[in-house]
Amino acid sequence: MKHRREANVYWVSDLVKCPIKREFEIKYPEIALSSIYSPYYILGDLIHKGLESVISEKLNARVEVEKSINVQLSNGMEVIVKGRIDSIITTERGENIGIEIKSARADIGIPQQHHIDQVRIYNWLFDLTKSILIYITFNRVTEYEVVEKASTEEVIYRIEDKKAPRYSWECGYCSYAILCPYKIAK
């Protein structure tokens, strides 16, 4: 699901992607929306919904859990960091464990660094003991545990860092590559 855009709100997903892409999404939302109708996106969305419903039923977990935290940037400006994790399970010992589901065409290179970064930030935002990254690909269904937690300093750094793209592979998958002056052509 695409998030409603507000200038002072940074979604966790914004902190693990090219910062220029966020600016384009605010300026030209219709281009971002067009990706929602791609067969691959629809398939991924259905996998998410199916697995979330199983997790919710079998493990009595909360799904689509949302939280926001205010953080102050180095220029004194206050912004909101918002996140929506797929699921949170509370154990009998009272520990909260996050679950984030990822679908991919292939299982090469998993767990991907931006997914690990995303759940590290969820561990910070929701104060989780750890998170489990579940991958559903055509070749493999598997999971990875992520115990590391981002710090507030790292979150602020990611908001302020304007290096584009954030990860070297991003331009090849970006809907805004057709108009972006920062595109790295390979």
Binding site for ligand SF4 (CB under 6 A): 18, 20-21, 24, 164-165, 170-171, 174, 176-177, 180, 182-183
| CB of residue 47 to ligand SF4, shortest distance in Å | 25
Q: How far are the Cα atoms of 112, 130, 141, 143, 175 from residue 120, in angstroms, in the given order?
A: 12, 8, 21, 15, 26
Task: Give the shortest CB-115-to-ligand SF4 separation in angstroms.
Answer: 17
d(CA 7, CA 79): 9
Q: How far is the CB of 118 from ligand SF4 (least distance, A)?
A: 16
User: 116 vs 177, which CB is nearer to ligand SF4?
Assistant: 177
Which two three-digit tokens encode residue 18? 């090219």
Count each helix (H run) and each strand (E run) in the chain, helices first: 5, 6
Decide whether 125 or 164 has the Cβ nearer to ligand SF4: 164
CA-based nearest residue to 126, from 84, 155, 184, 172: 84
Burial class (CB in 10 A: 0-12, 13-18, 19+), 122: buried
To ligand SF4, the closest distance from the beta carbon of 20 in angstroms equals 4
